[in-house]
Amino acid sequence: MKFKKAYLVQIAHDATSTSKLALCLIGEQTNTLQVVQCIGTIFKELFQTADSMEVLFLNELQKSEVNLVARPFYASDGSDSCRPN
């Protein structure tokens, strides 16, 4: 799986819902279930909480919206190595 960018943002599904942490990914959308499960496992191990983190694979409109409020913490330079921003 190759991701071009990754963001951490707070989201709320509507005006009345509590905001949650979301990992927003841009890139290939293959094996999405496996990616979500892996991220969930890592999140629970790191933070040892019953809370969860949303994982979103952004479409074009969502990319534009996220770019208005956040900068990516990871951006690929096209190589296979991972380098945080």
Q: Rounded to whole angstroms, how far apart are CA atoms 79 and 67? A: 23
Q: Supply the pTM of this predicted model.
A: 0.78
Q: Rounded to whole angstroms, how far apart are CA atoms 31 and 2? A: 11
Q: Rounded to whole angstroms, how far apart are CA atoms 80 and 48? A: 30
For residue 65, what are the domain limits?
3-12+19-75
Answer whether residue 84 is part of any domain.
Answer: no
pLDDT at 81: 57
For the stretch 5-34, pLDDT in tens is 999 999 888 888 888 889 999 988 778 888
pLDDT-based confidence at 83, cuts 50/70/90?
Answer: low
Radius of gyration of the CA atoms of the chain, in A: 13
Answer whether residue 39 is part of any domain.
Answer: yes
For the stretch 32-60, pLDDT in tens is 888 889 888 888 888 887 777 899 999 99
**Tokens read off for 33:** 């279930």
- Please count the structural domains in the chain: 1
Q: Rounded to whole angstroms, how far apart are CA atoms 8 and 67? A: 11
